[in-house]
Amino acid sequence: MEEVTAATQRKMIHSLFLINCSGDIFLEKHWKSVVSQSVCDYFFEAQEKAADVENVPPVISTPHHYLISIYRDKLFFVSVIQTEVPPLFVIEFLHRVADTFQDYFGECSEAAIKDNVVIVYELLEEMLDNGFPLATESNILKELIKPPTILRSVVNSITGSSNVGDTLPTGQLSNIPWRRAGVKYTNNEAYFDVVEEIDAIIDKSGSTVFAEIQGVIDACIKLSGMPDLSLSFMNPRLLDDVSFHPCIRFKRWESERVLSFIPPDGNFRLISYRVSSQNLVAIPVYVKHSISFKENSSCGRFDITIGPKQNMGKTIEGITVTVHMPKVVLNMNLTPTQGSYTFDPVTKVLTWDVGKITPQKLPSLKGLVNLQSGAPKPEENPSLNIQFKIQQLAISGLKVNRLDMYGEKYKPFKGVKYVTKAGKFQDNQYQLGS
């Protein structure tokens, strides 16, 4: 088109910098010529401007480069781009890198990355060639580069053997790029976790403004050979919008609503789904709370009670209530009937770890709020975020019907677990007392 393009280096991801929360660049990797660290100054500038890490814009334009970054586990992954590229492409890729670190090292932290810098480098080398993703499937990467284990690192240090696979990966070359060949287990197992999250916004009158159920099915498959699985549901029509792992045969789902796939080895997310919003979402808990401040006084009263509601006969556990209190709140002096609470006077976040609900005695948290003296009474009452968990229940009613295996002869152990959690569950404030 233009000669301009000929002169520029069109490539997707040029360099990657890993930056920790205190602004140290602790790892850099270049896929072409070296870009000076100073390019990150633009990033630091944006970070300063944003005040909050969450608000650092993912895309920053600098005179010669573009910086696309993600924030994961208290680390910034900052990639340097020189030319037009779909930003989501880079963002997805960076998340995939972070996922891979998580997968390899158990956590995606500065310490883990520094401890395994050689593996990190080898991984990055395999994942990207000339700025274009090459091998991003965990199954393939693990064949190329073995994840570190304590035992292996001890053995390696004695024998000097390597953690680079000397067998060559087969998956990359096959038609099933997500699965490695020659998998063998003595116990063949296939477990599925159906995890559903309720996203809800509840207004001050207690009525639901918005609620929907988002679910995922995570699989842990340890099966020998090349199993071909079919997972069917009792009520597949519930699933309104589904996104698939690449292993799932789309046509089969379209025609029969059956998930048919040759799974990757190990843990992976099979599908994510949304339950159609026409179905009324049952809200399993309710919260009553009041916060009142007296005019011209540096004191206020605070009171929350939680109770079960539509819990389908299951116990609601792991309840946590988080409240972002107004800035003028100095301290809180509360008494919980059960569980424990903390108030962080710096971030003004009140966290109440409630635990289980027993219907006989509803948990409550009451007490006094101390305000900065002289400050005006807070304009707004805070909103509450509630977390909970219900075991053995998929709130949408989704049920796995059966799992069949073809292609292999052994009988696997199969299991399905259901969990319902609060997702983004937010109770917007009532305005009591004023």
Q: Scanning residues 220 to 239, which ones bind another protein (CB under 8 A)?
A: 225-226, 228, 230
- Work out the burial of residue 53: count CB atoms within 10 Å of its CB; fewer than 13 is exposed, 13-18 middle, 19 or more buried: exposed
Residue 361 CB, shortest distance to another protein, in Å, is 30
37 belongs to the binding site for another protein (CB under 8 A): yes
76 belongs to the binding site for another protein (CB under 8 A): no
Q: Segment 331-350, which members bind another protein (CB under 8 A)?
A: none
Which window, 116-124, 292-300, 301-309, 365-373, contacts another protein (CB under 8 A)?
A: 116-124
Residue 221 CB, shortest distance to another protein, in Å, is 14
- How far is Cα of residue 147 from the mean position of the Cα atoms in its chain? 22
Residue 338 CB, shortest distance to another protein, in Å, is 25
Among 168, 184, 313, 360, binds another protein (CB under 8 A): 168
- Work out the burial of residue 207: count CB atoms within 10 Å of its CB; fewer than 13 is exposed, 13-18 middle, 19 or more buried: exposed
324 belongs to the binding site for another protein (CB under 8 A): yes
413 belongs to the binding site for another protein (CB under 8 A): no
Task: Give the SS3 label for residue 208.
Answer: strand
Task: Determine the size of the site formed for another protein (CB under 8 A).
Answer: 118
Whether 269 contacts 218, CB under 8 Å: yes
The tokens of 131 are what?
Answer: 């700025």
**Radius of gyration, alpha carbons of the chain:** 26
Distances in Å between the Cα of 276 and the Cα atoms of 107, 176, 285, 303, 390 are: 34, 32, 21, 35, 21
What is the distance between the terminal CA atoms of the chain, rounded to a whole angstrom?
66
57 belongs to the binding site for another protein (CB under 8 A): yes
160 belongs to the binding site for another protein (CB under 8 A): yes
Q: Segment 278-317, which members bind another protein (CB under 8 A)?
A: none
Among 294, 406, 417, 433, binds another protein (CB under 8 A): 406
For residue 331, count other CB atoms closer than 10 A to its CB: 11
- How far is Cα of residue 393 from the mean position of the Cα atoms in its chain? 21
Which window, 41-49, 87-95, 147-155, 355-363, contacts another protein (CB under 8 A)?
A: 87-95
Q: Segment 243-272, which members bind another protein (CB under 8 A)?
A: 243-246, 249-252, 254-255, 260, 262, 269, 272
Residue 74 CB, shortest distance to another protein, in Å, is 14
- How far is Cα of residue 217 from the mean position of the Cα atoms in its chain? 14
152 belongs to the binding site for another protein (CB under 8 A): no
State which residue, 240 or 303, has the beta carbon closest to another protein. Answer: 240
Residue 199 CB, shortest distance to another protein, in Å, is 8
- How far is Cα of residue 203 from the mean position of the Cα atoms in its chain? 26
Residue 59 CB, shortest distance to another protein, in Å, is 5
Residue 358 CB, shortest distance to another protein, in Å, is 29
Strands (E), 121-256: 128-129, 132-133, 189-202, 208-222, 228-233, 239-244
